[in-house]
Structure 1
């Protein structure tokens, strides 16, 4: 069941992210708006678009969350593998995604302070980042 849902969620997320999906959605709204005078702007006319948008939005929330969860987990696994593979990396960073926001913020602050303390490394990194930004 999990593999089936993942396949459907991935495919739906890919389709919803395409320009054609936006165009089709826009066309449906235009058709709905044009049909208003013919349906005398009735409750049924309003109910059609309200129901459709509510159902689609409700389903899209779950699809988007599923995609984000999967992408986040995959990215975290890749970063953990990089940490594991590098000799100078600190393995204590593996799994910090399970800490609280406050704990992660303290770790980030400590890392930023550590980088600022190493003046020679900061001096070499800044020009290379600036050159990279100039290219784009």
Structure 2
């Protein structure tokens, strides 16, 4: 566990440093110096290999650091969203941890919420319902009332 914490601390520091203006300026300066050195080394294969190897190694390592940072950020965002869902009296707790669903299951949920949106658009006030069941029930009740016509698209 201690090594994991050490890796996390180091990767967080490197990620912050790599995204700084100083890091960009340093990288830019290295490219300028490399370009100026071209005539000195007669634009040799070795001269080109130096920059290609350096950028490949840095890119390879940064991919893992960026992925680690994105994973951590994604977990934090999911936890914040879960907290909002749990705190909201009208939100469906079924949405907590949906990031573990398959792509096909997420598509089914997307269709569900598209349907909810379609039903809500037929209402005068989109805040009157918070689920497909209640939206459809409200819509049926309104259409059964005398003198109320449903607004179809």
Q: With structure 2 as the length reference, what TM-score do the two structures score? A: 0.75
Q: What corresponds to 2:126 in structure 1? A: 122
Q: 1:120 & 1:74 partners in 2: Cα distance?
A: 36
Q: What corresponds to 1:133 in structure 2? A: none
Q: 1:104 & 1:121 partners in 2: Cα distance?
A: 27
Structure 1 residues 70-95: Cα deviation after superposition (integer angstroms, max 9, x where no partner): 00011111111111121111111111
Q: 2:125 & 2:106 partners in 1: Cα distance?
A: 24
Q: Is 1:95 aligned to residue 97 of structure 2?
A: yes
Q: 2:124 & 2:91 partners in 1: Cα distance?
A: 19
What displacement does 1:13 show? 1.3
Of 94, 104, 107 in structure 2, the residue corresponding to residue 105 of structure 1 is: 107
What displacement does 1:20 show? 2.2
Q: 2:41 & 2:15 partners in 1: Cα distance?
A: 34
How many residues get paired? 124
- SS in structure 2 at match of 1:120: coil
Structure 1 residues 12-64: Cα deviation after superposition (integer angstroms, max 9, x where no partner): 11111122222211110010011011011222211210110010000110000
What displacement does 1:123 show? 8.4
Q: Which has the higher contact order (CA 8 A, sep 6+)?
A: 1
Point out where structure 2 has 5 or more consecutive residues left out of the alignment. Answer: 129-153
CA RMSD of aligned residues (A): 1.7
Q: Which has the larger radius of gyration?
A: 2
Structure 1 residues 98-118: Cα deviation after superposition (integer angstroms, max 9, x where no partner): 011121122022112202212
Q: What corresponds to 1:78 in structure 2? A: 80
**After the TM superposition, which residues 1-136 of structure 1 pair with which residues of structure 2 at under 5 Å, given as runs?**
1-118=3-120, 119-122=123-126
The structure richer in helix per residue is: 1
